Structure 1
Amino acid sequence: MKNSIFSVFILTACVFINSCNSNKKEINLDANRNVVKKYHEVWTNGQVTDLDKILAPDFVCHFVNGIEWKGIEGAKNSISSHRKSFPDWKEEIVDMVSEGDKVVTRYKSTGTHQGTFEGLDSTGIKVTIYETSIYRIADGKIAEQWGFPDALSLNNQLTKQ
């Protein structure tokens, strides 16, 4: 009799605990990583029309150097403008970490300076920098990005004599 009461108590506790988690939204870490990989691919291939499937409509990007853009159109304009300065821009993910609704990438960016960039006319210099970005994913799309490019290294490479 004691065993059956104890078993009913344990079963009831398990049902209660599981039912408390039933409203919790399940996070798919693989899907989060994949959408971030696709975003890096857009920076590499310049196919900004793909951003409609990758970014949330209210997407916001914050860069450590004070640059910020909002919305899918803002991202399209920023990527297109950057690729005018560096038409062969390529981003290669080196490290990726994800937890909850966040994905962090450390990536190697390369490109040849062939157009005006931050007031500096084309130098023809091939640059390589490392960057880190933190992404917040919401409903399968990137909602926010915090970018930390090695701007000092980029500037030093572009202005070397």
Structure 2
Amino acid sequence: MTLKAGDELKQRNEEIGRRWFLEMWSKPDLALADDLIDKDYNPSWVSIDAVGPDQIKHEIEYFRSVFPDLKYEIVDLIGSEEKVWIRYKGKATHRGNAWGFEPTLKEFEYEGATILYISPEGKVVDRWGAFCFYDMFTELGLVPPFWELSKHFGKGGEN
């Protein structure tokens, strides 16, 4: 059975999504960034003074300095001809200083979603991602649960 061009692109993009999380982030295999990432990759919502493969390498190095045992599991993955959607679970231990917090040495789990935008040449050119830092900080015992904050305010947000 021969695949249509669109199906081949979907499969290629799904493989890129798998390698993004299971190899590049989970192992981590930073050299893989040179194969997967476009030279102009620079997501506007990530504040790192680097572009292309170096941007994601710096991001992974930073997260690894805080969570050296970070591992991902893919929960759901759907590819299209231009992007791949990935829902994932992450698991790690907080062992490094970050965001003004000392290491807690606590293990935590979190969930998130990422969309990788992929060029016709098979390089990641942009990404969108979402996971809740507040939930992570709560699980690590660094901030109170969100619902606890509401006890400090009256109706309409008044003190």
TM-score (norm 1): 0.77
Supply the RMSD in Å over aligned alpha carbons. 1.8
Gaps spanning 5+ residues in structure 2: where?
A: 145-159
Return 67-76 or 109-118, whichever deviates more: 67-76
The whole-number CA distance in structure 2 between the counterparts of 1:89 and 1:146 is 20
Give 1:119's aligned amino acid. G
User: Which is helix-richer, 1 or 2?
Assistant: 1
Give 1:30's aligned amino acid. Q
The verdict on how the C-alpha distance between 1:115 and 1:74 changes in structure 2, with shifts beyond 3 A counting, is same
Candidates 25, 32, 36, aligned match of 1:50:
32
In terms of Rg, which structure is larger? 1
Q: Is the 8 A contact 1:85 1:116 kept in 2?
A: yes
Give the structure 2 partner of residue 146 of structure 1. Answer: 128
Structure 1 position 77, deviation (Å): 0.6
User: Which is strand-richer, 1 or 2?
Assistant: 1
TM-score (norm 2): 0.77
Cα displacement string for residues 81-133 of structure 1 (whole angstroms, at most 9, x for unaligned residues):
10010000011110011222011000001100000121211110101000100
Q: Is the 8 A contact 1:46 1:80 kept in 2?
A: no
Gaps spanning 5+ residues in structure 1: where?
A: 1-24
Aligned residue pair count: 134
Q: Does 1:60 align with 2:47?
A: no
The whole-number CA distance in structure 1 between the counterparts of 2:74 and 2:12 is 16
